[in-house]
Amino acid sequence: MKKLSDHSPAGKLAIAVVTEPERAQNAFMSAPSGAREEAIRLLLQTAVDAGVSTVATRPDGDGERMLGQAWPFPSPFRVTVRTMSITDGVDRVEARARRSLERLGLPRGDSLLVTNAGDLAGAEGRALWDRLSALKDRGLFKRIGFCATFEDGPALLARRFQPDLIQLPCNILDQRPVSSGLLADLAKQGVAIHLSAVFAHGLMFTGRETLPPHLADYALALSRTRRRLAEARVDPMQAALAFALNLPEVETVVASVASAAELRAIVAAAHAPRPDLDWAALAFPEPAALTQEALTSDPFRISSAA
């Protein structure tokens, strides 16, 4: 299949390949080792064929090693690596970032992101940033940056550290990075922006009966949003991707995938015509409640229904 242009919607997507059993068991985790590797190869080849050019990784679990064994050769992907916690010190963070490249089988990565912006706000924040800058200077990573939430004050951190890239959650239900002017501010600073949690940690596909306890009071708001989408005859996945992919300040939209089938569904939704919606009317009135969910969930998560 011919690879699509990077100017297509899929060219703005990044995938985070999920290997945790609870998400991937129907895709490959319950299969023999050889079958699991083949399933990941198929997923990555599906991404290549669709025009997806970025893969986001994490240092926990076995995902890096599995990807390293499954890349198409030569790998066409830009790869984003995330750091481990600073708890064990900056030496350990640097060593693990180098180890991530080894496990991925790559001589260098596109981006290295501090997983928790709080690590930069702490006493060793400057030392940590200096280590990342040194890795960039040595050519191991093209760009450095950090993951942050709206509450972390990413604009102030950007002015302090001047990152190349910031990844932060933003979605239909929590539009604060857009409505507050944060995305515009970061773009003016020359910061590339990657969006995570574009499916609102699975809430876009969750019924009121299965809402997390701390979001029970938001059942009516969620029902209202889903009703408006239904009245407009717009699928929640299509709406979520249309909102994120059409934000002019955003370089990349990150979504997790556990199988080639999930990726095909996401790509199809990304290529659907952009719906004419009142986006602001779809947001939660007090979206800060989503932050607790963000702290206890995979930031790339989508529902298995996707």
Supply the pTM of this predicted model.
0.89
pLDDT in tens, 193-236: 999 999 998 888 887 778 877 778 788 888 999 999 999 999 99
Quote the mean pLDDT of the chain.
88
Q: At what angle do helices 33-50 and 260-270 cross, to 10 degrees?
A: 20
DSSP E strand boundaries for the chain: 13-17, 54-56, 78-82, 109-114, 141-147, 165-169, 192-196, 252-257
Q: Give the domain CATH number at 256.
A: 3.20.20.100
Inside any domain, residue 31:
yes
Report pLDDT for 302.
42
Q: From residue 171, how far is each of 90, 162, 168, 214, 247 by CA, in Å?
A: 33, 25, 10, 19, 11
Residue 3 lies in a domain: no
Q: Tell me: the pLDDT tens digits for 257-302? A: 999 999 999 999 999 999 999 999 999 887 866 665 444 444 444 4
Determine the Cα–Cα distance for residues 112 and 132; give it in Å rounded to an integer. 8
Cα separation of 197 and 298, whole Å? 8
Average pLDDT over residues 105-111: 97
Say if 64 falls within a structural domain: yes
Name every residue whose Cβ is closer than 8 Å to that of residue 242 and which is 6 or more positions away in sequence.
272, 274, 275
pLDDT tens digits, residue range 43-60?
999 999 999 999 999 998
Residue 18 lies in a domain: yes
Whether 188 maps to a domain, the answer reads: yes
Question: Does residue 4 lie within any of the structural domains?
Answer: no
What's the Cα-to-Cα distance from 231 to each of 137, 161, 227, rounded to whole Å?
Answer: 52, 45, 6
Let me know if residue 137 belongs to a domain: yes
> Is 152 part of any domain?
yes
Report whether pLDDT(31) > 60.
no
Say how far apart CA 255 and CA 239 lie, in whole Å: 14
Domain carrying residue 202? 9-296
Total structural domains within the chain: 1
